[in-house]
Amino acid sequence: MQESWLGLGLLLATMAIVAIALVRRLGLPVILAWLGLGLLAGPEGLAWLTQDQIHLVAELGIVFLMFSLGLEFSLPRLWAMRSRVFGLGSAQVLVTGGIASLIALALGVELRAAIVVGAAIALSSTAIVLKQLDELGWLNRRHGELSVSVLLFQDLAVIPLLIIIPMLGSENVGTALVFELGWALLKAGAVFTALLWAGGYLLPRLFDEVARSRSDELFVLTTLVVALATGFVTLWLGLSMALGAFLAGMLLGESQYRQQLEADIRPFRDLLMGLFFVSVGMLLDISIVMEHWLLLLLMLPLVMLMKAAIVAMLAVGTGEKIKDALATGLCLAQIGEFSFILVGLALTWQVIDPALGNLIVVVGVLSMVLAPTLINRCLELAKLMLGSGDRLTGGDIQPKAPQLEDHVLLLGYGRVGQTLARFMRREGIPYLALDLDPVRVREARGGGEPVLFGDGRRSEILKDAGLLRAKMVVVTYDNRRAIFNQLDCIRALSPKLPILVRTRDDKTLKALREAGADQVIPESLEGSLMLVSQVLYRLDVPLSTILKRLERERRRHYSTLHGFFSGEETPREQLHGITLTRDAWAVGRSLQEISLQQWQVSVEAVQREDARQALDDELQFQEGDILLLQGPPSKMERAERRLLEGF
């Protein structure tokens, strides 16, 4: 038995590797590989697996996904999003569910079953949407935030729905339903209060002790235990495991350990999420598809179009841009994983006919298959629907590149790129940066920096950034494959343009020079040379001798230096942009009144519309102002809460 399970696991893992490599080669979302593997290994395929065998492991994937989402959406940020979560989110669930229920009634479905149909269709897939948005780096873009807001309310709405459906299957609905809903809300409030105390007092101290041990294994294990324990507590109280994990992550999102927590849990989350999608693929009943293919051909596009249209109209009604509203609708057009749970519960309590329940499940699975492609192309489709078919390259971050002459083109705007930019700005040297991190680009542009979102390996983007008019190109990041591709592209457009490349070490120094780089600067080795120069200078070695030796070392391609000792780094200060909303506490107050100095955070710039404001203590903040904050990462969340909420 043990050998058979081991062989089956090895076979499934091998098939997963082949499937993922294939869909990656075809440029398709990875989710499709997991869904296909589930269909192949499930009851409709080779019957290697059953739902009971994989259900628990698959549910853990949702738990870790929601924990990661909580880390991304800290309590101050969630509070700032409350109008979208409870406004747009509640409207989407009620309107979509209501319309779907009315259509079901019109088609002859009885009232109790119509309520289940409406509830199932109203929900979208938290797992698919969040995974795709995270992979694309769109969680912090407007349509990403709107999608997450709606999904958060949907996950909250599942709790009363899980109580209502069994009540629909019993004879005594009225009094029992009110009691059960009230009891569930009371338990949810108690859990939130307990976790709020734990997040503010217990968890930070726990992770402080774990961090002092300097044990990677202990840190990872503690992270897993916290995520699973909070999920178990909420499950024990009759609530969703995912809800507890989300609350724990949200409270830990304010700590200085957020990035490490997210990095530690990601491998477990991604693998278990893959198994979840395998379980979804196993739900696809081929016999139903073959028998009702014409009905499915009508239902699938109608359901997805209806959901997308309702979300888009509601978003526009709340004041969102049409493009963002359309993109949000496309992201949420599919049926979600919790819909399968609701349908399964309704079948258990005989609230819904089995044929109708299976039909909804098949439509849901097929909509999930289409969802990754729709999400990946949502911005392009939104722009196409608005009358322009041009391909988007981050247009809502930067619509058009400025026309510069004799400027320095920075490829990458991370730590090194920003350091170069600061010195060039002080010297009055014009520059323009390209970066593929949408959050970084948005925050930098909010601070008035000339940064574009774009891939420097594409010739049309380099031309738009003024490559043919540039004085120099500096590659500031360390991605060797991307750098070689960029060098080929730049040299094809401008053979004589000076190119400086930064690398971490000298392993590819010769290859980079042969590929077209005029100068390669190995970061670690140059740091060693700077230290050598300072030591020799303090030992009274003549400056001319020091310079000669350093230059000789560079000509010899750093032959004496082939490594360095790494030590513990102190946390660097970071820049963070924040937009003041209408309800923000700081609106109407002065720079002196907000007093962020107590958290070692300072306001470096204030962008109002298209102009930077002069910083003085009497400057009054207004709605829509973009504040560029500088300070330690561990203090930034606290300063943001001060600006938004006043405490």
Q: For the segment 315-332, what is each residue's pLDDT rounded down to a tens digit?
A: 999 888 898 899 999 999
Reply yes or no on whether the pLDDT at 401 is more than 60.
no
Residue 505 Cα distances to 396, 419, 509, 518, angstroms: 36, 19, 8, 16
Reply yes or no on whether the pLDDT at 97 is more than 90.
yes
User: What does the pLDDT look like over 442-464, one tens digit per residue?
Assistant: 778 777 788 887 778 777 778 87
Longest dimension (CA), the chain: 96
Reply yes or no on whether the pLDDT at 100 is more than 90.
yes
Query: Residue 569: its pLDDT value, please?
Result: 41
Please report, to the nearest 10 degrees, the dihedral formed by the alpha carbons of residues 91, 94, 100, 106 taken in order.
Answer: -120
| Vertex 247 angle, CA 242 and 253, to 5° | 120
Residue 483 region by backbone torsions, left for phi larger than 0, else alpha for psi between -120 and 50, else beta: alpha
Token pair belonging to 167? 């009540």
User: Which of the two residues, 219 and 90, has the higher pLDDT score?
Assistant: 90
Neighbours of 604 (CB within 10 A): 15
As a whole number, the mean pLDDT across the chain is 79
User: Which of the two residues, 257 and 318, has the higher pLDDT score?
Assistant: 318
Task: Enumerate the β-bridge partners of residue 626.
Answer: 579, 607
Which pLDDT band, with edges at 50, 70 and 90, does 175 fall under? low
Query: Residue 391: its pLDDT value, please?
Result: 41
Question: Cα–chain-centroid distance for residue 488?
Answer: 31
Residue type, 550: L
H/E run at residue 531: helix 523-538
Over residues 55-67, mean pLDDT? 70
CA distance 622 to 617: 15
Query: Residue 499: its pLDDT value, please?
Result: 93
**Among 429, 385, 438, 387, which residue's Cα sits nearest to residue 407?**
429
Residue 148 Cα distances to 95, 151, 376, angstroms: 18, 5, 16
Query: Residue 98: its pLDDT value, please?
Result: 95
Query: Residue 399: its pLDDT value, please?
Result: 42
Hey, what domains does the chain have and what are their CATH numbers? 9-385 (1.20.1530.20), 408-517 (3.40.50.720), 574-645 (3.30.70.1450)
Reply yes or no on whether the pLDDT at 420 is more than 60.
yes
Query: Residue 74: its pLDDT value, please?
Result: 63
Contact 309, 99 (CB under 8 A): no
Query: Residue 402: its pLDDT value, please?
Result: 58
Over residues 22-49, mean pLDDT? 76
- Give the helix ranges, DSSP H, for 107-215: 111-122, 126-136, 142-168, 174-197, 203-212
Percent of the residues in the chain that have a pLDDT greater than 70, as a whole number: 81
Sign of CA dihedral 16, 20, 22, 28: positive
Query: Residue 150: its pLDDT value, please?
Result: 93
CA distance 17 to 22: 9
User: What does the pLDDT look like over 559-611, one tens digit per residue?
Assistant: 555 433 334 444 445 677 788 888 888 898 888 788 887 777 888 888 887 67
Over residues 53-74, mean pLDDT? 69
Query: Residue 472: its pLDDT value, please?
Result: 94
